Amino acid sequence: MSSTLPEELPDGGYELSCDWLLNPSRPREAIFGDGDKDRICRMVEEYEENPLEESHFFSKRRAKEIDDIWRHWQKYASLTGRDPDQVWVDVCTGREGTAKPYFQAFLRRYVEASITLRPCLGPKEWEKIQTIRCAVTLEDVWSTLVAAANINKKQSQNATIRDIGRWIGGEAAKFDLRLDQTFEKVEMTTGDVLLWLDTLWNRAMDIPWSPSVRLGAHTCVVFIGIGGWRSASILELPYEDVEIAHVRHPRNPLKICLVATITIYYVKQQKNRIRRDQRNKLKFSITFVPCKPLCLLTLLLSRAIADNAFFEGYRTIEELLPSGHQLRDGVDFSAIKWRDEVLEKPIVPVLYHQYRDIWNMTLFVASMLRNPRSYSMRVGTAGRLDGQLTPALRNFILSHSTGVYETSYHPVQVREGLMKVSFGDLAGENDELLGAMRNACLRRDPWAPIYITKQDLDNFENRRDLSQLRARLQSVAPKSKEKGKITGRIQYIKNSLEKLLIEERRCEYFENLQQGKSTTYLVNLSATNPRPKVHRASSLIAGFLARFFVDETSHTALLKKLVKYLRGLSLEGSPELDADRAVVSETESGARALPKPRCLLCDCPDFHNKSSLSRHVWDCHKDKFGSQFLCPECHRLGKGEVQVEAGRPAWSSHVARCHGTINAPNPISAKTAYCLLCSTHFTPKGFNTHLNRRHLVQFRQPLPCPECSRQGHDCQIRGQDAWVFHVREAHDGGWGVPGAVMTDRCEEGGSDYQPPIKRKQEVVVQRQYKRAKGCGLTKWELDGGFKGKGDHHQEEFWVTGRDEDYV
């Protein structure tokens, strides 16, 4: 702190003098005074120890790319006998002739090293595949290598670097690289988006995903269809970036509407940049829209209600709808607060690889000849925004420049009807017909095969590579790492072969269609997925839900069904009904798996078994059972305010009666056994194990009772049996669990519970007990002057400790 500031007081204030108050020091006054010398020197040393590197300005992913390519370059330089930096020094000093051959050889070897073996159909079983197929990939490698070397001085315009970039294009054919892109840029029109969403739900049995991922992918596609944002800006969007509010309608002041305002943060932004603008984020608002598949607010609210995300505890849409809320006079906006625990939780809980897989799987099931990339969603949205918005606003929403839009966001199929533009009315009225030609899904065929047969899958086992792996699998230990590696390799080969075989048959199918040949032998209407099925129950219900996106069902009814779907509850009229919320999965043999328990007090995922559920309930919700409370599950199901009595048994009994025994925690699994030696709670069954493992060594010598010491009593205990007796007699413990004080810690004040000491046994708690064996009998002897019953005539009662006295 600068010496110009007054001295700080211990209580946090400052010792201010009248002189300072009349003439206070100004900021930066005497900023570099003599008293700051040592402090400034320490600052300089700190920054010298942690110098500022170029990687500080890169994202983690980009920094890793640069580190990896530079590591490859260093290995390459050591093999050639050159200093890894000297080649770049030669470039800077004009010795291009000695540097270019090294760069060319490095890039050539980089392409050659990309060749690997992949499973294939046919007798060869494996074939060579060059993973680098485009010259643009090699150009990116070169750019990354230049960035790695270009640390101190910019040399991107150096003639040698420019020439090597041109050389890549000239040598592309020699390296078996394509100069053009491997895909055709198309756009996903509104019709394509609706078809994708319809396929996602109607063909749910062929697209097996969990409810959370399915609805999350649906939400992500609608998001990108609205603003064309990159998927990384949408996936795992947190609750804190979504604001739900009741808003008064401007034209009808008596009408209150639900509105959501969403903040989108752009990706691909420069790291640690000092901003003088706010172009790194965007906000937009939504409300209910008539087209239910595109109603983003319905999707977000269903996720929020299923997660119990509202601070006010709204568990049904009726509680949230404006009909139950009135704004005060003069108030036009009232935000609905989220619970603090969910602010950083994603409202779109989907990872990129999940979104990519479900995107491709849905298009595959829709029977596309070639799946458009997810990037086509961004291209389609950009086309819809262009012309309706100014270029400046379009660029701001899409987060790019006009040059980037003109270069990368025009599909090969021109959006406009050129005949109409060129010849006007002479071209006729064919706008709808020609507009349909832009649809990416126009050329699909719903009868194209999507599965191989069970026989095909079995035939893969006849391959030499799989036979060798199966034989090796028999000789390894059951739980070894090698077994997992072999199993994974077998699965990889089978997945690769399945993909190749179905692609081969689909190509044959579409080729026969184009040539007018028969495709009957390729179509099997009864074909099903030969692999073991996953998410079968939720996929059945998802297919049942598809109708509610397109019929006359209200948004409220659809939202209710989506909430039940997310929570794994059965729907009225759906293919799967179970009173105990059975999320049924059908195995390959057709057997039904047991339902998994869930916590009705929070939104934790399903538990593996009832024991894990019980541990969670008694540990995480211990404060809930000290008094009466309302059942949140009854409230969510619309049964009204159902009161549950205090105590764990009451909650367990209520859940078993009203919500299924599978979800009822076991009361006896609560940690009600309190250990006085370490002040820890255990379950009754776990306490015995704890006492024998943790404290057995302590009983080999006299030890003080911690509870008695806390109460000011000196009590030394010798032996485990003496400890059990002491706990029972002095602390009213050991009933049912020897050595433990049994207490309902939740009702006694939580984890800070301190068991009471029995004050009436002053003499007993100060004596030592030891165990003696003789003549086959076990008896208790008191160390220190046990002379008979007369020594205890003043006590309220006396317990001898001999079992034979109580027979």
Q: What is the pLDDT of residue 773?
A: 40
User: Of 364, 63, 400, which is closest to residue 229 (Cα–Cα)?
Assistant: 400
Structure tokens at 151: 């640390």
Rounded Cα distance, 102 and 519, in Å:
54
Beta bridge partners of 717: 703
Rounded Cα distance, 633 and 81, in Å:
72
Q: Is the dihedral of CA 682, 688, 691, 692 positive or negative?
A: negative
Instruction: Please say whether the beta carbons of 669 and 748 come within 8 A.
Output: no
Check pLDDT > 90 for residue 712.
no
Check pLDDT > 80 for residue 211.
yes
Q: What are the b/e assignments for 593-617, b being 16+ CB within 10 Å?
A: eebbbbbbbebeeebeebeebbbbb
- Quick count: other Cβ atoms within 10 Å of Cβ 270? 11
pLDDT tens-place string over residues 296-322: 999 999 999 999 899 888 888 888 876
Q: What are the b/e assignments for 761-797, b being 16+ CB within 10 Å?
A: beebbebbbeeeeeeeeeebebeeeeeeeeebeeeee
pLDDT tens-place string over residues 726-775: 887 777 776 667 878 876 544 444 444 444 444 434 434 444 444 444 33
User: Of 575, 497, 568, which is closest to residue 530 (Cα–Cα)?
Assistant: 497
- Quick count: other Cβ atoms within 10 Å of Cβ 243? 17
- In this structure, what DSSP letter does residue 346 have? B
> SS3 of 333, please?
strand
Rounded Cα distance, 111 and 132, in Å:
6
pLDDT tens-place string over residues 408-429: 888 888 888 888 888 888 888 8
Question: Considering only 158-172, 191-205, 318-332, 556-570, which range has the smallest mean pLDDT?
Answer: 158-172
Q: What is the pLDDT of residue 744?
A: 57
Q: Is the dihedral of CA 783, 785, 787, 792 positive or negative?
A: negative
- Quick count: other Cβ atoms within 10 Å of Cβ 160? 20
Instruction: Please say whether the beta carbons of 608 and 595 come within 8 A.
Output: no
Q: What is the pLDDT of residue 690?
A: 83
User: Of 392, 522, 539, which is closest to residue 453 (Cα–Cα)?
Assistant: 522
Question: Considering only 140-149, 560-569, 580-589, 644-653, which range has the smallest mean pLDDT?
Answer: 580-589
Rounded Cα distance, 419 and 421, in Å:
5
Instruction: Please say whether the beta carbons of 621 and 745 come within 8 A.
Output: no
Average pLDDT over residues 678-705: 79
Please give the helix or strand (H or E) that residue 681 lies within, else none: strand 680-682
Say how many Å lie between the first and final Cα of the chain, rounded. Answer: 79
DSSP string, 695-742: STGGGGS-EE-HHHHHTT---EE-SHHHHHHHHHHHSS--SSSTT-EE
Structure tokens at 229: 């944002």
Structure tokens at 405: 């839009």
> SS3 of 380, please?
helix
Scanning the structure block, which residue is given the tokens 């009466």?
A: 628
> SS3 of 160, please?
helix
**Residues found in the chain:** 807
* Model confidence, pTM: 0.66
pLDDT tens-place string over residues 541-596: 999 999 999 888 888 899 999 998 998 877 766 554 443 344 433 333 333 445 67
User: Of 219, 225, 205, which is closest to residue 354 (Cα–Cα)?
Assistant: 219
Q: What is the pLDDT of residue 603?
A: 65
How large is the greatest C-alpha to C-alpha distance in the chain, in angstroms?
Answer: 126
Check pLDDT > 70 for residue 335.
yes
Rounded Cα distance, 588 and 606, in Å:
22
User: Of 217, 215, 221, 233, which is closest to residue 306 (Cα–Cα)?
Assistant: 215
Q: Comparing 673 with 763, which gets the higher pLDDT? A: 673
Rounded Cα distance, 200 and 538, in Å:
13
Position 524 confidence tier, pLDDT thresholds 50, 70, 90: confident
Structure tokens at 702: 């006299």
- 362 to 452, 516, 619: CA distances (angstroms): 17, 27, 42
Rounded Cα distance, 338 and 309, in Å:
6
